[in-house]
Structure 1
Amino acid sequence: MAFDCISCSGFSASCSPSGSFLHLGFARDVIFRSSSPSRRKIPLRFPRASSSSDPLLVQAARGDLVNRPPAWMMRQAGRYMAVYRKLAEKHPSFRVRSETVDLIVEISLQPWRAFHPDGVIIFSDILTPLPAFGVPFEIEEVKGPIIQNPISSEDDLNNLHSIDLDKLQFVGESLKILRSEVGEHAAVLGFVGAPWTIATYIVEGGTTRTYANIKSMCHTAPHVLKSLLSHLTRAISEYIIFQVKSGAQCIQIFDSWGGQIPPNAWEQWSRPYIQEMVRVVRKECPQVPLVLYINGNGGLLERMIGTGVDVIGLDWTVDMADGRRRLGNKVAVQGNVDPAYLFCPLPALTDEIHRVVRSAGRRGHILNLGHGVLVKTPEEAVAHFFDVVKGLRYDSLFKESMLENLEPVA
């Protein structure tokens, strides 16, 4: 279901140096021991300026030197929190909760009040903007999102129209209030679904486990799919810009189902459209970092760089050290603690946080889970997660590691 598997805050029911050394990041030119006798320097590649007054998360996303990694969680707001479950009992409709300003703000701020993460993400869903460009949908408690008139032919495309942002004012108003509430103490995050992922729902008519219809459409009606993806690209780009102008300081793009197609198919049917969105948004909002997350992205990491985003989120199936080696200094990274660690003894969670942070390096890392917070996650574990990261300091954490990995000088 869209609200269970994709939305990071919705219905959370939802460089490459060789060798085996520990990558310490790229905060400055560091000399590493490797299989090569030569010393190598790692150049930086973060061209856009930023301000030290920006929230920590924004600074890290841009690659600035910071004293610790910022942290937030996908599906940060949701039913693992008792206060959310109580509110949901009073307002049982997800559409009501995610399309009513007072409820959006209240739910978005619940984890902020409880844990003070470095990012406060709007409570919403990737399908929220669909009715604004001609795709009405419903949500059933068991089945999830239902699109009564899925697109399967060229005639069906006639139902689409340009996005009507007036129909999404509840999103804009909520972001303005959130920005006012958290000030500069945390970054306000918006999010969208990538064209391919949104298209899967529109073509399949809802949630699917096989993606048979849209995969078939790639070959049986490619012109229809291209037209749909192009339309979604324009609409979602406008929606991103709308969120930014309303107060979002960072945007996460969820191509959650991009990992359900082979890498060469993703290159054809997803990457160009994300790349175009990034180009359009960058022109209008050049200082706002863009994050790209794909569930099951281990085979796509290097290809994801070509989208032009600032940050690539890693799911927990990718080793952070390996991910950092593969991505190098081309982008920042986000992730990727296994959500199941929040059910483990707290010392084990602490150790895993330290491991992930060391593997990611001391520059260009946003600590997060490798997927969303799981149902029934203990709130004390979430609190511990944020307490640990707030107590971290790169200088002390990396002191011993740097001594171990510096190449000895004769």
Structure 2
Amino acid sequence: MTGSELPHLLRVARGEILARPPVWMMRQAGRYMKVYRDLRDKYPSFRDRSENADLAIEISLQPWRAFQPDGVIMFSDILTPLPGIGIPFDIIESKGPIIDPPIRTQEQVDNLHPLDPDASLPFIRTILQTLRQEVGNQSTVLGFVGAPWTLAAYAVEGKSSKNYAVIKGMAFSAPDLLHSFLGKLADAIATYVCYQIECGAQVVQMFDSWAGELSPQDYEVFALPYHQQVVKAVKAKHPDTPLILYISGSAGVLERMGKSGVDIVSVDWTMDLAEARQRLGPAMKVQGNMDPGVLFGSKDFITERILDTVRKGGGQGHILNLGHGVLPGTPEENVEHFFTISKQVDQLLAVQA
């Protein structure tokens, strides 16, 4: 397949300079869409929706049918691979993930086993292969995974947390235990990323959602080495597949994210995108970074913010996205406007020039 036949997002992720940045949204399949809420009412278990291939495919394609984004990300959860290494979990709709018992001892870590995706995650192959068939070269199919620190935080805390006291307590009082756990998670995640690529994912995003809670010095000890471990293992097998790293609240560790080995750093909305590009250096591609709350504004306001973001993106090596996921309650017509304007942005900027 020649470069011009590849989908728009994949071409930019691999370094091509095109007339406009490709565009998709984190959490673009989800609660803001009525068709999703209707399906959720019929199938109330999140794991049923994400691990039943037919349902996950349908949910993944809902925003693509409605808005034609340049990226279609599979509907799943960052915790999905954990049972495959021996950590069961549940997701309660109003409470979030629950892991019981949480991981607190070396014996528990020692009892974990390597991930065999075909045995424990066979639905992933069906989901990704079908998405590739459905969208063809009209859009890029994205996979995603959780990063070791964030998965460890869920597993050690046993649930979502506001202060991360349990895992930080382990980090600072029993670091060898935590490092052994993080190393096993990194091995499993690398295996899972490779599996997603082999099943059809063209780009994979790694979410380290809770790493922004680490100080820069602790990020360098408990997050960055395991990003590097995952990326190194994946690139050894799939050197041409672009990898994205996203951390919420990442302003304090931005340059360190650039040392992870990924191809693209996804920037949240709490920092200026032009400043982020300057801090990361010219070789690093970026994704982001419009505040999801902007989508509650007027259409004119949304348009201006899109144009401002694209200007600050610098005209190359930029994937347009939100700085976090679409918020529940976001008007669907505003999401539609976001995608419509984003695909006309080169023309609009030319008029203003």
TM-score (norm 1): 0.84
Partner SS, residue 393 of structure 1: helix
Confirm or deny that 1:250 pairs with 2:203. yes
Residue 163 (1) aligns with residue 115 (2): yes
**Does structure 2 retain, via aligned residues, the 8 Å contact 1:305–1:330?**
no
Counterpart of 2:154 (choices 184, 193, 201) is: 201
1:300, CA displacement in angstroms? Answer: 1.0
Matching residue of 2:37: 85
Q: 1:33-75 CA deviation, whole Å, 9 max, x = no partner?
A: xxxxxxxxxxxxxxxxx82322111111122111110000000
With over 3 angstroms needed to count, the CA separation of the structure-2 counterparts of 1:400 and 1:81, relative to structure 1, is closer
The structure that has the greater radius of gyration is 1
- Distance in 2, Cα, partners of 1:220 & 1:384: 50
- Which structure carries more relative contact order (alpha carbon 8 Å, separation 6+)? 1
2:133 paired residue number: 180
How far does residue 86 in structure 1 lie from its aligned partner after superposition? 0.6
Asked if 1:308 corresponds to 2:256, the answer is no
Write the distance in 2 (CA, Å) between the matches of 1:153 and 1:398: 60
Structure-2 separation of matches of 1:242 and 1:92? 28
State how far apart, in whole Å, the 1-side matches of 2:301 and 2:286 are. Answer: 23
Matches within 5 A, 1:264-279: 264-279=217-232
* Aligned equivalent of 1:7: none
Structure 1 contact 358–398 (Cα < 8 Å) conserved: no
Deviates more, 1:88-97 or 1:157-166: 157-166
- 1:358 is matched with 311
Which residue number in structure 2 is paired with residue 377 of structure 1? 330
Partner of 1:221: 174
**Change over 3 Å in CA distance of 1:313–1:54 after alignment to 2:** same
Give the gaps of 5 or more residues in structure 2.
none
Supply the distance in 2 between the matched residues of 1:382 and 1:286 (Cα, whole angstroms).
Answer: 34
Q: 1:190 aligns with which of 143, 147, 155?
A: 143
Q: Distance in 2 between matches of 1:240 and 1:270?
A: 17
Aligned to 1:290: 243
Tell me by how many angstroms 1:400 deviates: 6.5
Distance 1:186 1:260 in 2: 34
Which residue, 256, 260, 263 being the options, matches 2:213? 260
Counterpart of 1:59? 11
Q: Please name the residue that 2:294 is paired with.
A: 341
* 3-state SS, counterpart of residue 160 of structure 2: coil
Q: Following TM superposition, by how much is the alpha carbon of 1:399 offset from its aligned partner in structure 2, in angstroms?
A: 8.3
Instruction: Specify the code of the residue in structure 1 equivalent to 2:77.
Output: D
Note if contact 1:62-1:332 (Cα within 8 Å) is conserved in structure 2: no
Question: Quick one: which amino acid aligns to residue 160 of structure 1?
Answer: L
Cα deviations by residue, 1:97-132 (Å, 9 ceiling, x for unpaired): 000010000000000000000000000000011001
Distance 1:259 1:278 in 2: 19
Which deviations, in whole Å up to 9, do the C-alpha atoms of 1:340-393 show, x marking residues without a partner?
111100001000000000011111000000110001100000000010011122
2:80 is aligned with what amino acid?
T
Q: Which amino acid aligns with 2:157?
A: E
Mapped partners of 2:268, 2:299: distance in 1: 21
- Aligned match of 1:34: none
State the one-letter code of the partner of 1:185.
Q
Identity %: 53
Q: Which AA in structure 1 matches 2:68? A: H
The equivalent position to 1:322 in structure 2, one of 247, 264, 275, is 275
Structure 1's unaligned 5+ residue stretches are: 1-49, 402-410
> Which letter does structure 2 place at the counterpart of 1:127?
L
Corresponding residue for 1:73?
25
Q: Distance in 1 between matches of 2:283 and 2:161?
A: 34
Aligned to 2:93: 141
Rate the CA distance shift 1:298–1:215 in 2: closer, same or farther, 3 A: same
Question: 2:323 and 2:92 mapped to 1: Cα distance?
Answer: 27
Q: Which residue of 1 aligns with 2:59?
A: 107
How far apart are the structure 1 equivalents of 2:89 and 2:226? Answer: 23
CA 379–399 in structure 1, closer or farther in 2 if over 3 Å, else same: closer
Residue from 174, 184, 187 that aligns with 1:231:
184
Alpha-carbon distance in 2 for matches of 1:373, 1:142:
18
CA distance in 2, matches of 1:69, 1:233: 31
RMSD: 1.3
SS in 2 for 1:203: helix
- Residue in 1 aligned with 2:341? 388
Is the alpha carbon distance of 1:256 and 1:94 closer, same or farther for their aligned partners in structure 2, counting shifts above 3 Å? same
User: What residue identity is the alignment partner of 2:275?
Assistant: D
- Alpha-carbon displacement from aligned partner over 1:191-224 (angstroms, at most 9, x marks no partner): 0000001000111111111100111111211111
- How many Å separate the matches in 2 of 1:277 and 1:172? 20
SS of aligned partner of 1:300? helix
The one-letter code of the counterpart of 1:145 is: P
> In the alignment, what sits opposite 1:98?
50
Length-normalised TM-score, structure 2: 0.97
